[in-house]
Structure 1
Amino acid sequence: MTSLKLDEIFGCTYFPTTLDGNAGTWFKTHHPGNIYNFAQLKYLFLTESNFVQLRKYKGDSHSIIECKKKEGESVRDYFKRFINGTLDVPGHDEGLIVGAFTSGISPGPLSQNLMGKKPNTRAKLNEKVERYLR
Structure 2
Amino acid sequence: MTNISMSPFTNEIERTNPPLGFTMPHFTPYKGDEDPDRHLKHYCSTMIIYRSNDALMCKIFTTTLQGEGQDWFHTLPPQSIQSFNELSFIFINEYSSNCSIKMTSDHLFNIVKDPKETIRDYVMRFKAEKAKIVGCNEDIATAAFRNGLLTEHPLFEKLIMGE
Q: CA offset at residue 68 of structure 1?
A: 1.1
SS at match of 1:53: helix
Choose the corresponding residue for 2:161, options 98, 106, 116. Answer: 116
- Ranges of 4+ aligned residues in structure 1 off by more than 4 Å: none
Displacement after TM superposition at 1:69 (Å): 1.4
The C-alpha deviation readout for 1:37-76, integer Å capped at 9, x for no partner, is: xxxxxxx5xx621112222221123311222113422222
Q: Residue 106 of structure 2 contacts residue 140 of structure 2 at CA under 8 Å; is this kept in 1? A: no
Give, in angstroms, the shift of residue 24 of structure 1: 4.2
TM-score (norm 2): 0.45
Tell me the amino acid that sits aligned with residue 49 of structure 1: N
Secondary structure of the corresponding residue to residue 48 of structure 1: helix
Q: What's the TM-score, normalizing by structure 1?
A: 0.52
Matching of residues 98-113 of structure 1 within 5 Å: 98-106=142-150, 107-113=152-158
Quickly say closer, same or farther: Cα 1:48–1:108, change in 2 above 3 A.
same
Structure 1, gaps ≥5 residues long: 1-7, 32-43, 119-134
Q: Given the alignment, which residue of 133, 138, 151 partners 1:89?
A: 133
Whole-Å separation in 1 of the counterparts to 2:160 and 2:141 = 14
Q: Distance in 2 between matches of 1:30 and 1:116?
A: 66
1:68 corresponds, among 104, 112, 134, to 112
Tell me the SS of whatever aligns to 1:56: coil
Matches within 5 A, 1:18-97: 19-20=67-68, 23-28=69-74, 29=76, 48-97=92-141
Structure 2 Cα separation of the partners of residues 24 and 72 of structure 1 = 48
1:101 Cα deviation (Å)? 0.2
Once the two structures are superposed, what CA deviation does each residue of 1:63-112 show, in whole Å capped at 9, x if it has no partner?
11222113422222221221221223333321111111011012211112
- 1:10-60 residue CA offsets vs partner (Å, 9 max, x unmatched): x9xxx87x614xx343242499xxxxxxxxxxxx5xx62111222222112
Whole-angstrom distance in 1 between the partners of 2:161 and 2:107: 25
Query: How many pairs were matched up?
Result: 100
Which residue matches 1:36? none
Question: Which region of structure 1 is more displaced relative to structure 2, 82-91 or 93-102?
Answer: 82-91
**Are residues 101 and 19 of structure 1, via their aligned partners in 2, closer, same or farther at CA, if it must alter by over 3 Å?**
same
**Matched residue SS, 1:112:** helix
